[in-house]
Amino acid sequence: MSASITASPPRPGLLDRERTVAGPRFNRWLVPTAALAIHLCIGMAYGFSVFWLPMSKLLGGTDPAVCGSMGFWAQLTTTSCNWSVPAVTHIFEVFIAFLGISAAIWGAWLEHAGPRKAGFIAALCWGGGLVLGGIGVSIHQLWLVILGAGVLGGIGLGLGYITPVSTLIKWFPDRRGLATGFAIMGFGGGAMIGAPLAVALMKYFSASSPQGVAPTLIVMGVIYLVVMSIGAFGFRVPPSGWKPLGWTPKAKGSNAMITDHEVHLNKAMKTPQFWLVWWILCLNVTAGIGVIAMASPMLQDVFGGRLIGLDAGVTLDATQKAALVAAAGGLVGLISLFNSGGRLFWAALSDYIGRKATYALFFALGVALYASLPTLGHSGAAGLFILAVCVIMTMYGGGFATVPAYLADLFGTQMVGAIHGRLLTAWSVAGVAGPFLIAAIRQTQLDAGVAKNLVYDRTLYILAGLLLVGFILNLLVRPVAAKYRMTPEELARERALKHEDRIPGDAEHAARGSFGLGGILAWAAVGIPFFIGVYIALQKAAVLL
């Protein structure tokens, strides 16, 4: 006797994509809050500089003769000497490098696994990395701090950064730029919340721990783990074929720069469009990081006492020097604010004028502003100089927020998260090479005897030149050729890998719920901390007025 048994698919686990399909009462405007919960946490990477100086003062009674000549490799394992500030700042470089590497490696996996699983693993890596880094600080082992906060944390950054992208674009086919702008705005604003929190915690714990660094890292790691996990479990995916109520897709071919087809990750990397956008992002980031890296010292060197109302060339006393440093610190606060706000503004604008036109504006306006900074500095126009820097920062942030929608326009939405992950290697390259290039140019000019107030001129002109190259590359972007498109069979296979054939749901009636009290509470949960960060940044910036 024989019997045929039809095996039913295994029941999906709690983290699986199939368990995240939206029901009829869900509202799509809850998805950006889940994305913001993750990005506001990982955005603390931009605020990590608050730890550099305290990390260099953990030990007392060290031997200056021995410690002063200690190189980086020896500092990795020493327990008797303080770490130098340059040694600990390598953590940031490791952050950015592993952000791009992890996004590139696991982007395709993320598309199949879904946002809940990827977001939760990102929470474990970022939060756990900070906890491990705190343990490294407590036993004074720099290698463990770099391994925890830098490597493991960097993997969490990469996964957390790209987790919401594909999901948001599918939920907001009518407002791709706005949706991704909301999430990536959180990454730019994370430091506005995290940096003041870290400073307050270090002050609180300093009575029981050297500089309060170790317990601060551990506490923040736990907080971020919890908040990011809540965000991960808040994600929902739409059923296949879902579209917003009342929205009708534009007729096929109505906009040549927005494709009606899908391109596989592996084929996308063989297109000229991918590498053109790779270089576009790399050049935009390199120029922006150049300003971020030198903003505070540049303002002090270029304007000196004029920044605080004194005549040019006046020798500053200790009080006046402190006021000058505080004023330059105000610019750092403004940079954070405009970096974050620009991500939402430019990404939302791109929905109306197009992604290619938006990048054309970035580069054209950027060339003019970078080239004008030396003249503004020489003429003593501090207000216009600061305004130009702030506008530059909006375009730096806007470049990050607009690029996911640019990729979706070119390659389709099926694998946009994975393609975005590969593209972020441009950020890794720019994040490491950019500051090195800027520092090398500056030091070469100082060694040649160039005055401090003039030493930034050549650097700014070089950055303007990089943006001009970016402008030309952006003009070369064309629609992707038909030979790179997925065939119907390839598309069906890719959707099967995502288990879209097993995802239940009624595309016609899913996610038709009202915004309601739940929406208000969700937006308040991410909005209140964000606006507290904005208020603190404005307080810091007030010293410039």
Higher pLDDT, 470 or 4: 470
| pLDDT value at residue 393 | 92
| pLDDT value at residue 509 | 78
424 has pLDDT over 80: yes
CA distance 357 to 336: 25
Assign 3-class secondary structure to 186-248: HHHHHHHHHHHHHHHHHHHHCCCCHHHHHHHHHHHHHHHHHHHHHHHHHCCECCCCCCCCCCC
| pLDDT value at residue 254 | 57
pLDDT band at 233 (very low <50, low <70, confident <90, very high): very high
pLDDT band at 3 (very low <50, low <70, confident <90, very high): very low
Cα within 13 Å of Cα(257), Cβ side = 16
Dihedral, CA of residue 194, residue 338, residue 468 and residue 297, to nearest 10: -70
Higher pLDDT, 55 or 497: 55
Residue 208: burial class (beta carbons within 10 Å; 0-12, 13-18, 19+): exposed
Q: Residue 149 gets which letter from DSSP? A: I
CA distance 100 to 348: 25
- Mean pLDDT of the region 112-131: 95
217 has pLDDT over 80: yes
Inter-axis angle of helices 382-411 and 153-171, nearest 10: 70
pLDDT band at 383 (very low <50, low <70, confident <90, very high): confident
**Angle, vertex CA 501, rays to CA 499 and CA 504, nearest 5:** 95
CA distance 135 to 474: 46
Residue 190: burial class (beta carbons within 10 Å; 0-12, 13-18, 19+): buried
- Mean pLDDT of the region 162-182: 89
545 has pLDDT over 70: no
Q: In the chain, pLDDT over 90 holds for what percent of residues?
A: 47
Residues 6+ apart with CB under 8 A from 507: 238, 239, 240, 241, 242, 243
- Range(s) of the chain covered by CATH 1.20.1250.20: 23-55+77-244, 256-499
pLDDT band at 347 (very low <50, low <70, confident <90, very high): very high
pLDDT band at 4 (very low <50, low <70, confident <90, very high): very low
What is the CATH code for 256-499? 1.20.1250.20
| pLDDT value at residue 346 | 95
434 has pLDDT over 70: yes
| pLDDT value at residue 313 | 64
pLDDT band at 345 (very low <50, low <70, confident <90, very high): very high
Mean pLDDT score across all residues of the chain: 87
pLDDT band at 1 (very low <50, low <70, confident <90, very high): very low
Q: In the chain, pLDDT over 70 holds for what percent of residues?
A: 92
510 has pLDDT over 60: yes
Tokens 């990590």, residue located: 48
Question: 183 near 160, Cβ under 8 Å?
Answer: no
pLDDT band at 501 (very low <50, low <70, confident <90, very high): low
Q: Residue 485 gets which letter from DSSP? A: B
Residues 6+ apart with CB under 8 A from 442: 294, 455, 456, 459
Name beta bridge partners: 263: 485
Tokens 């997925």, residue located: 486
pLDDT band at 148 (very low <50, low <70, confident <90, very high): very high
CA distance 468 to 481: 26
| pLDDT value at residue 380 | 83
What single letter denotes the amino acid at residue 231?
G
pLDDT band at 333 (very low <50, low <70, confident <90, very high): confident
- Mean pLDDT of the region 123-132: 97
| pLDDT value at residue 344 | 92
Q: What is the pLDDT of residues 184-194, one digit of tens each?
A: 898 888 888 99
357 has pLDDT over 90: yes
401 has pLDDT over 60: yes
Q: Which CATH architecture has domain 23-55+77-244?
A: Up-down Bundle (1.20)
pLDDT band at 158 (very low <50, low <70, confident <90, very high): very high
- Mean pLDDT of the region 293-317: 71
Residue 405: burial class (beta carbons within 10 Å; 0-12, 13-18, 19+): buried
Tokens 């919401």, residue located: 164
Question: 119 near 232, Cβ under 8 Å?
Answer: yes
| pLDDT value at residue 342 | 93
Q: Which of 36-45, 97-106, 439-448 has the lowest mean pLDDT?
A: 439-448
Backbone angles phi, psi at 483, to 5 degrees: -65, -15
| pLDDT value at residue 5 | 47
What is the C-alpha end-to-end distance of the chain, expressed in Å?
90
| pLDDT value at residue 494 | 81
